[in-house]
Every structure is written in structure tokens, then in C-alpha cells.
Amino acid sequence: MSELIKKAAALLESKSVQVVIGYGKGTGNRTRTIFATQVTECENLIFDSRCVQNLAVYLTKLEIKKLGKPAIVAPVPVLRSILQLAVENQITESDLVILGITSESELIDFESFAAIETFLTTHKIEIEEKYTKTIDAIKAMPVAERFAYWVKELESCFKCYACRGACPLCYCTRCTVDDNQPQWISVASHPLGNLEWHIMRAMHLAGRCTDCEACYNACPMGIPIHLLTKSMLQDVADNFGSYGPSLDKQNTLSSFKPDDKESFIR
């Protein structure tokens, strides 16, 4: 990735950006996010198949914003999140420089968010068959069995909120689960509290989630919470025709158009 390093260094050198957010070597066989503010630090940038953390999560973090304008290493899942953040008016084009990386590990520049959207039309979110099969099997369960399945899966959740922390779209300054006037969701980690949290999380991401699996990767207990968001993606596609971020279409579930076919909103 010498080209990536060169590009990142040039951006810092020319002071076009103040920090480069990218992947570096981590512990074990893991990678770790690095925040390069010096040209020399760019040499630590790497990119390979282990680079799965969704770096877009840092674009809205206060501590990172303080570092100044960022350039961000953006493989396809990160690009999707960047586009969704743009759809939700969380970032503007002048806020960042995108060091795009294609599925073939080629560097790619993007002049605008619209260019990302055009690029992503050839990189549509596809839910792998192993997941659709599992989801279908869960959906085919009788209600009681399905409920029991999720109660059991969520049993080991202790509400560390790593799923929330790792999600680029969980940028709310105060999450609903932390609101206490009124207390919408139980703070306690018991079967009801865990269900409430995960249902709320999935629902809040419905029509927004870009299927990066950061939530699942972050879960220290290995709970398959990504099945919930993947299932919501399918539901959105089934009911509204498509999924994936779109500047034009805005958020599937929270945007209104005069020609919407539903009558309840009129």
C-alpha cells in the first residue's frame, strides 16, 4: 500500500488535512485504527483483508473532530457509511478527504458524495446466503419459538454497548437508552432490558444500516445481532423496493414524498 502511504503523506504535507484516519498493525492478528497527524506516521498505514473495523465511526466523535480535518481510508463498507452520514447531514463534502479503496484494493478518489453513490451502484449491499438462510429459518419459526430464540441469543448480552460504540450511524449525542426522563428502556441487563435494547437498536437502524457488521464484530459475547439489522434490510427492500444509502432518496423510513403511496401520512 505504498501508494496509500504516499497519498496520505502528501495530504498531511500540503496541510490539506490535519489527520489521516486509517488502518495500522494491531495486536495478535488484528489491525488497529491509527490517527496519523505527522507525515512520518503515514508509514504505519496498511490495508488488507483484516481491515474490517468501520472507520467512519470516528468522523462524528468529538475527540477526533478536535484533531482537525481528516482524510479517511475508506474501503466499500466505510464508503457506504460515509454516504449514509452525508444523507443524514452529519458530514459535508468539505469536511473530509476520502481515500477510497475498491474491493480489488485499488485506490480511488471521490470528488463528491454523489460520486460515491455512483460508485456504489456497482457495489450493492448483498446479504450473503448463509445469512438469508438463517434469517428465513428464524422467520419461519412460530412466534413463541422465535421469541425464545432471541431471548436465548441475547441472554449473554450485558449491555456494554460495544455494538453502539462501533456503529458509524450510532452518533446520537444522547442515546435513547441513556434518556431517563422518561426512562424509555430499562437500564438493567435482564431478559426484558436486553430485548428492549436490541429491538430499539435494530429499529433505529432500519432503513439506515449499511450492513457493515461492525456491531457484530464488536460484540465481546459473539451475539449475532447483525441478523436483526440484516433482516431489517430485507424488510426495507421488500416493502420499499431498495436499500442502501442514497442522497436522492434520503432515508427510506423517515422521508416523506408527496407521491408516497401510503395514505396514513396524508
Partner 1 sequence: MQTENYLIRKPSLEKLFNDLIGGGKTIYAPKAKGDLALFSDVKTYSDITEDYIVTANSAKLVVFPRTEKLFSYHKSKEKTEITDAAGSTFPDVVLWGTRPCDAAAFIPLTDTFNGDYKDIIFNNRRERVFLISFSCSRSDEYCFCTSVNSGPGNTSGSDILFTKLSGGDYLAEVITPKGQLLVSENSDLFETKSEEDKEQQLAVVATRFNQVEIQAKLQNLFENPVWDDKSRACLGCGSCAYVCPVCSCFDIQDEAHGNKGTRLRCWDSCGFGLFTLHTSGHNPRETQGARWRQRILHKFLYVPNKSKIAGCVGCGRCSRSCPADINILDTLTSL
Partner 2 sequence: MSNQNIYIPYLMRIEKITLEAPGVKTFRLKFENEEDAETFSFKAGQFGEYSIMGVGESTFCIASSPTRKGYIECTFRQAGKVTSALALAEEGDVVGFRGPYGNTFPLDAWKGKSLLFIAGGIALPPMRCVIWNALDTRENFKDITIVYGAKSVDDLVYKDELAEWRSRPDVKLVTTVDPGGETPDWKGEIGFVPMVLEKTAPSSENTIAIVCGPPIMIKFTFPVLEKLGFTEENIYTTLENRMKCGFGKCGRCNVGEVYVCKDGPVFSYEQLKLLPAEY
Contacting residues toward partner 1, per CB under 8 A: 26-28, 30-33, 35, 53, 57-58, 62-64, 156, 158-162, 164-166, 178, 186-190, 193, 214, 217-218, 220-222
Strand 107-109 relative to strand 70-75, pairing:
unpaired
Complex with partner 1: residue 31 or 210, whichever CB lies closer = 31
Q: Which does 181 bind (CB under 5 to 8 A by kind): partner 2, partner 1, none?
A: partner 2
Identify which of residues 78 and 177 has a Cβ nearer to partner 2 in the complex: 177
Contacts of 161 (CB under 8 A, 6+ apart): 175, 177
Pattern 167-186, partner 2, x by CB under 8 A: -------------xx-x---
Distance in Å, CB of 196 to partner 2, minimum: 17
Q: What are phi and psi of 23, to 5 degrees?
A: -100, 140
| Residues with Cβ within 8 Å of residue 24, at least 6 apart in sequence | 31, 32, 33, 34, 44, 45, 46
Instruction: Report the relative pairing of strands 31-36 and 19-25 from DSSP bridges.
Output: antiparallel
If one asks whether residue 89 binds partner 2 (CB under 8 A), the answer comes out as: no
- Is the Cβ–Cβ distance between 227 and 146 less than 8 Å? no
User: CA-to-CA distance for 191 and 45, rounded, in angstroms?
Assistant: 42
What is the size of the binding site for partner 2 (CB under 8 A)? 3
221 binds, among partner 2, partner 1, none (CB under 5 to 8 A by kind): partner 1
Where does this chain bind partner 2 (CB under 8 A)? 180-181, 183
